[in-house]
Amino acid sequence: MDTGKMKYRDNFKENYAEVNGIRLHYVSVGEGKLILFLHGFPEFWAEWENQLIEFGKDHQATAIDLPGYNLSSKPTELARYSLGNIVEDVNALVRHLGHKRFILVGHDWGGVVAWFFAIRHPDLLDKLIIINSPHPAIFAREMLNNAAQRDASQYMLLFRDPAAEKILSDNNYAVLLQLFSEGENQWKMSDMERERYIEAWSRPGALTGGLNYYRASQVYPPGSAKEENSLREITKLPHDIFAVKVPTLLIWGEQDMVFSKENLTGLNEYVQDLTIVRIPDGSHWVIKQQPERVSSLIREFIENRNKA
């Protein structure tokens, strides 16, 4: 098992699943009902280390490396990174783990995958928890109509560029490390965490794998009338196509420099059973900044719903 230099806590169990022609790496703690965590860019399973410790007390808490990242397979075909394919990879992993229903938690790109999973497979989910990741239809709306969101999303054009790998990896991944540290409310990495992230990014193909989510996406700042029309067509689709019929908690760090607060406007038109908790001093990296707060909100949502 190729774990490189990365160290694991004694009660963390890592493994691999062969699903849909690829190999997914995952780490689990505990037993019981499955609660599955999906990371964003440029992270990997360890984004959720604090939550694995907390929810491993009474669940099978599992965090995966999404396809393209760290120790999971890194397909070379760009089409392999479509959201439909990633959703079915997650679905296959859940079946591999032997669960019929589960709780799904996602942040950033992991949140996008989680939104689409809930839209496509509501019958498989008991709860959905999203952290700083906009609903796909609303994000398309904001990208089309909100100049502030388009400005904040200009980085997506860099990430789609063929030169992105070199730019992001130069000077020992200085640009990626800066993403975590900009602004007074950002996450301050420890030296050990920095080493682990650089190790994950340095694996052959891993940086390209993460960037391919942006390159395969249909939603990004438009640079032409054709691209604007593509976004407009998404916003015209019936709400039912993007409906979420699973009890949903959205945790939103309001100091997010990536996603504007307007992404919360009108969300109840797509999500039938919605709870929104805003964290005024939380950034896009609120999971790492305030792990106890995030875990407490997730647990309260799960336990209250279980009593209902």
Instruction: Identify the CA nearest to 73 among candidates 5, 109, 19.
Output: 19
User: φ, ψ for residue 32 (rounded to 5)?
Assistant: 120, -150
| Residue from 120, 106, 118 nearest 41 by CA | 106
Altogether, the residues listed in the chain come to a count of 308
Contact of 12 with 25, CB cutoff 8 Å: no
Cα Dmax for the chain: 54
Residues forming the active site: 108, 214, 284
Listed in order, strand segments (DSSP E) in the chain are 13-19, 22-29, 34-38, 60-64, 102-107, 125-131, 248-253, 274-279
